Amino acid sequence: MKKNKNNPLIKFDRITKTYITGPVKYQALKGIDIEIYRGEFIAIIGHSGSGKSTTMNLMGALDSPTSGNYFLKGKNISHYNQDELAEIRNKEIGFIFQSYNLLPRTTVLKNVERPMLYAGYPEEERKKRAIEMLKAVGLADKASNLSNHISGGQIQRVAIARALTMNPSILLADEPTGNLDTKTAHQVMKFLVQLNKKGSTIILITHEDDIAVFANRIIKITDGLIESHDYKLKTTSFIT
């Protein structure tokens, strides 16, 4: 992994995560170290049960580690309570999910406005910012469409626009192309590459090699441990 003189945006220091169900204990992460810097495009890959989803939940402040320290922008948030973690999620992290989580019978514009509505933004400011983000993803002309009346690739771009509205430090994409055909999936990934080139820090969770190769650096997790920090894949010829 290349060294960076700046402080990491995200730092995992000996992070473990153990789940307890009755008498059964399962250690999903076994003491991992990760550093991610502002402006990087990272793919975290691994098979089902490898620990990549647990890593995503911790990075996204959706859960807390069992032990170790998670530093976000230099602050140790490892032991934040649920309200403090919720504030981190609202202010610092934009989520892009495989399932989109859009309201189907609501306009594209209103779906993009939702994070700002919850944050208490005035109506005019919400609308202005939402239109700006839809322009950024090339969908301003779909603002008045219902979200279930546009294509799968367009829906995912709406989800990206929604994630960008709060100007997050991090875009966390969890299997964002899982419901898309290969051509549409690659179109969405190329759009994420363009966002990254404009300065967005993107963390992609995927089990698909042809999706992971769009990232600049690949972290492979196996059985709760980091197998490699710079796992290069060979199939890159289709990326333009």
Burial label for 181, CB within 10 Å (0-12, 13-18, 19+), is exposed
pLDDT digits (tens, 9 = 90+) for 74-110: 999 999 999 999 999 988 999 988 776 788 889 999 9
Let me know if residue 237 belongs to a domain.
no
Q: How many domains does the chain have?
A: 1
Let me know if residue 238 belongs to a domain.
no
Q: Domain with 28 in it: what CATH number?
A: 3.40.50.300
Whole-number average pLDDT of the chain: 88
Let me know if residue 235 belongs to a domain.
no
**How many residues comprise the chain?**
240
Cα–Cα distance measured from residue 32 to residue 153, given in angstroms and rounded to the nearest whole number: 34
Query: DSSP letter at 8?
Result: P
**Residue 180 has what pLDDT?**
79
Q: How far is CA 40 from CA 2, 55, 110, in A?
A: 11, 17, 30
Let me know if residue 84 belongs to a domain.
yes
Q: How many CB atoms lie within 10 A of CB 121?
A: 18
Q: Look at residue 235 and tell me whether its pLDDT is greater than 70.
A: no
Let me know if residue 69 belongs to a domain.
yes
| Whole-prediction pTM | 0.84
Let me know if residue 1 belongs to a domain.
no
- Looking only at the bridges linking them, the beta strands covering 217-222 and 93-97 are unpaired
Let me know if residue 185 belongs to a domain.
yes
Let me know if residue 205 belongs to a domain.
yes
Among 3-7, 170-174, 207-211, name the one with the lowest average pLDDT: 3-7
Give me the domain span that covers residue 19: 10-228
pLDDT digits (tens, 9 = 90+) for 184-232: 888 889 889 988 998 999 999 998 888 999 999 999 999 999 997 765 5
**Residue 45 has what pLDDT?**
93
**pLDDT tier for residue 234 given thresholds of 50, 70 and 90:** very low
**pLDDT tier for residue 1 given thresholds of 50, 70 and 90:** very low
Give residues with Cβ within 8 angstroms of 145, minimum separation 6: 107, 108
